[in-house]
Amino acid sequence: MFNYYPLSYSSTIDVYPIELVEVNSIAVEEENLGPASEEILNESKNNWRIVLGGNLKSALKIAGRERKSRQIFFNINGLMEEFSSLKTLNDIETFSMKYGLLGIQHPENAQVNSLSPAVKFTLQPSFIFNNYGFSVLEPIQVWQWHINQVRKILRLYHAVRKASSDELIYEIVEIKMRRGMVYILTEDKEVTDRYFVHWRDGEEILMLPESFESKPTLEIAQYTLAKILESHLSDGINLSVGDLISNPTTKGFMITEQRYTRYLLAAVYYDLWQTINDSKNVFLCENKNCRLPLVKYGRKKYCNEACKQEAYRIRISEKEGEG
């Protein structure tokens, strides 16, 4: 039960029905998903609960087989911005019902139950929340983590485009030295002092190559952007045959490629990749209580009408305070 999302063209696609559920209320044996999917649902429910420390309340789940799939006309343009602007649980539910699940599979039994420190290390969000695959249940935390990731990437892109000094970039990321592990061969490693790039909330992004350690901050930020998107798109994009264009003169032909993905999340990051490649302008919502990064269209200043109205109320309140 995979959805197929076209990336290089628009098309009508089938989307499987999704529902928002309270995980504790799921009775797996009563789900009408078929034996294989019910087994996956049970494993997914148990393993996500272990990984999230028991903090698994709400999740999005494929609905039972009594609810049929539906067709939508899918166009990737603007998907990333629509995703990054999701603010409430209701927003997330509506988006998932429209497009489907992200396509992040649950941690495997061997991974969850391993006593190996190296394997336990892979249970952090940057690993398990990026594991593309078949899914029947996705915790809301997975969605919220990726929504925040897209917002942080957009803010870094905005800083890179606007930066006249390093200060704007350092509001988004920080570069600091710590002890790092460098693998020389598969079975060999060396511990050394290395520079790491982190989001300002402390989450590690990557270890800088030695060739980048002395480069300007702007180049480091550009490299960081590229590597973040590479990591989010890895294993998510597929190529298929497009048109066959014949050349009667040479009797040769050219095969045009078409890109697609089985994972909604990969489509979101691909749209973000294209946004950066196309050098689109990004601005921050002018509502002081929002400041979400958005792609600039015309004279747009706010992410939606609600933000525009809130900004107006803030201005009125500030003027009354001055009076």
Q: What is the pLDDT of residue 228?
A: 95
CB 119 within 8 A of CB 111: yes
Amino acid (one-letter) located at 84: S
Reported pTM: 0.88
CB 154 within 8 A of CB 282: yes
Given a cut of 60, whether residue 248 has pLDDT beyond it is: yes
Cα distance between residue 142 and residue 127, in whole Å: 11
- At 134, is the secondary structure helix, strand, or coil? coil
- At 26, is the secondary structure helix, strand, or coil? coil
Amino acid (one-letter) located at 3: N
Residue 118: is it exposed, middle or buried by C-beta count within 10 angstroms (0-12/13-18/19+)?
exposed
Mean pLDDT of the chain: 87
Token couple for 45? 């429910």
- Angle between helix axes 217-233 and 140-162 (nearest 10 degrees) is 150
Q: What is the pLDDT of residue 1?
A: 53
What are the tens digits of pLDDT across the range 140-189? 999 999 999 999 999 999 999 886 778 889 999 999 887 765 544 445 55
Cα distance between residue 164 and residue 73, in whole Å: 42
